[in-house]
Amino acid sequence: MHTIVVGAGIVGLCTALSHAERGAKVTLIERGLPGAANSTSTGGGIREKFGTKLNITLSKLAAPFWATFGERFGVDICFRESGYLFIAKNNEEATRLKAQAELQNSLSVGTGRGIRGAAFRQQDGWANQHPIVDGLYRGVLEAGVNLQVGTEALSLISNNGGVVKGVVTTTGRMLGDAVVLATGPWCNSLLEPLGLTVPVAGHRHQLLIVEPAEPLPTDLPWLISVGAQVHLRPDSAGRVLVGGFLGHDERCDLQGWSRQADDDWSQEVLAVAGREFGVVNRDAVIKHGWAGLYPSTPDRHPVVDRLRPGLFGALGLSGTGLMHGPAIGVLMADLILDGSIDDPDLAKGLGLDRFIDTDGSSGEATGL
């Protein structure tokens, strides 16, 4: 069995690793460097506290991987079990948090609630995404994956029966038994010539590293304002990471989007964070800012499915690619090597067919 994985972000790295560890021959191609497109542009969140059963299930599947990452790959990912504190400012938001807490408790994800307006889980936290990518990079090489960087997929190869047999790349043709697209929002440029599309769009998110006037406690939880859509957490050396959509979670043009944080957004997010949390405001010194893309589906849940014979997609993680990547890798290996995902509810929730009869807009805003 030869599997070709297109895209070496965390999802592609985990998919390649899962296949190789089960004995498959794997070629992993990446047009840039591993993790450079979006996997290193996140805040590093790893949590089980979500508002939908599917996201909680994926987090629980990935949890053993994160618990043993350092021992397995010899890399310290600097995980900090600071917890996530979701804060509600009105009764509607508090009711939503209460319903989510009841769901989480029913799925054995322990959570606690503050007085009327907050939900907290201590065991969640954040890690440094850069050593995560480094560890996975080492892992795929040790597992025997043929990693080809600087190699871009130009088109898919299919036979007269429509079965996908390989990829045309900037370094030549590659043939295989299965092709996995782990390309984020750039998938449709490869799919459209085959008459296929997946509803995945790039949603630009922005983050800042700032120095507040007064250093925050290092054990402060990751603070999330439900209504204002702003969040912050301590970073290191007294600095703070600040981000949020601020009510503007919109798709962006994949051509020419900026990787720099916008000046207007930077000032607004600091003002909103100061108003919501009282710990960071416009007086904070901006040290660094950047932007990345969340590859988002309409329901903010991923697509892990066979798109046509020989072609598979691990797409649309909607901001959860880092924390759920290990689970997606295992599920994709099950789908390709065993022929199916064992859990029928999970398979249905990740399937592309769910968008045929609905706009799929009942999910949650997952990214931070």
Q: Where in the chain is the domain with CATH 3.50.50.60?
A: 2-60+130-200+298-355
| Pairwise CA distance, residues 124 & 43, whole Å | 13
For residue 80, what is the DSSP state?
A: B
Query: What is the torsion angle, in degrees rounded to the nearest 10, for the CA atoms of residue 61, residue 197, residue 247 and residue 231?
Result: 30
The number of beta carbons lying within 10 Å of the beta carbon of residue 306 is 16
Classified by CATH at the fold level, domain 82-123+201-295 comes out as: D-Amino Acid Oxidase; Chain A, domain 2 (3.30.9)
pLDDT tens digit string along 13-32? 999 999 999 999 999 999 99
pLDDT tens digit string along 326-354? 999 999 999 999 999 999 999 999 999 99
pLDDT tens digit string along 68-126? 999 999 999 999 998 999 999 888 888 888 888 888 888 878 654 333 467 888 889 99
Residues with Cβ within 8 Å of 146's Cβ and at least 6 positions away in sequence, in order, are 25, 26, 27, 28
pTM of the model: 0.93
pLDDT tens digit string along 150-197? 999 999 999 988 999 999 999 999 999 999 999 999 999 999 999 999
pLDDT tens digit string along 279-314? 888 889 999 999 999 999 999 999 999 999 999 999
What pLDDT does residue 114 have? Answer: 37
Residue 211 pLDDT greater than 60, yes or no: yes
Per-residue DSSP letters for 193-235? Answer: GGT-----EEEEEEEEEEE-SSPPPTTPPEEEETTTTEEEEE-
As a whole number, the mean pLDDT across the chain is: 91
Which one, of 38, 1, 4, 24, lies nearest residue 294 by Cα?
38
CB 13 within 8 A of CB 35: yes
| Pairwise CA distance, residues 325 & 346, whole Å | 15
Q: In CATH, which of 3.50.50.60, 3.30.413.10, 3.30.420.40, 3.40.50.1980 is domain 2-60+130-200+298-355?
A: 3.50.50.60
For residue 270, what are its two tokens? Answer: 């600091």
Count of alpha carbons within 13 angstroms of residue 230, beta-carbon side: 22
Q: Where in the chain is the domain with CATH 3.30.9.10?
A: 82-123+201-295
CB 98 within 8 A of CB 113: yes
